[in-house]
Amino acid sequence: MAVTVRIPTTLRPLSGGATTVDVEPGTLGDVISSLETAHAGFRDRLLDDAGSLRKFVNVFVDDDDVRYLDGLDTKVPDGQTVSIIPAVAGG
């Protein structure tokens, strides 16, 4: 099996318009690396210069926010779904 990454509308140009991308399981860091290999540009949009998740991007493994799990070390086993959710701000 694979891990399914849900791509938000704002990042779909990087995935050639695909709404989902399947990658190999591993840690969230591995998933992002695989996503970057398949579709260049994701790493810069998801990670800051220090290699941490950007503050304005929320990432969920199934229904769990990775910031409350192990961040980039969060395990993402076969069959799981990773959702990338850009933060919305304003008033």
Instruction: Enter the pTM of the model.
Output: 0.92
DSSP 8-state symbol, 53? B
CATH number of 3-86: 3.10.20.30
Residue 58 confidence (pLDDT): 96
For the chain, the domains span 3-86
In this prediction, residue 88 has a pLDDT band, given cuts at 50, 70 and 90, of confident
- Find, among 80, 76, 73, the residue nearest to 53 by Cα: 73
Spatial strand order in the sheet of 64-65: 20-23, 3-6, 81-86, 57-61, 64-65
Q: Given pLDDT bands bounded at 50, 70 and 90, which one contains residue 1?
A: confident
φ, ψ of residue 5 to 5 degrees: the values are -105, 120
Tell me the per-residue pLDDT of 6-65, one tens digit each, with 9 for 90 and over: 999 999 999 999 999 999 999 999 999 999 999 999 999 999 999 999 999 999 999 999
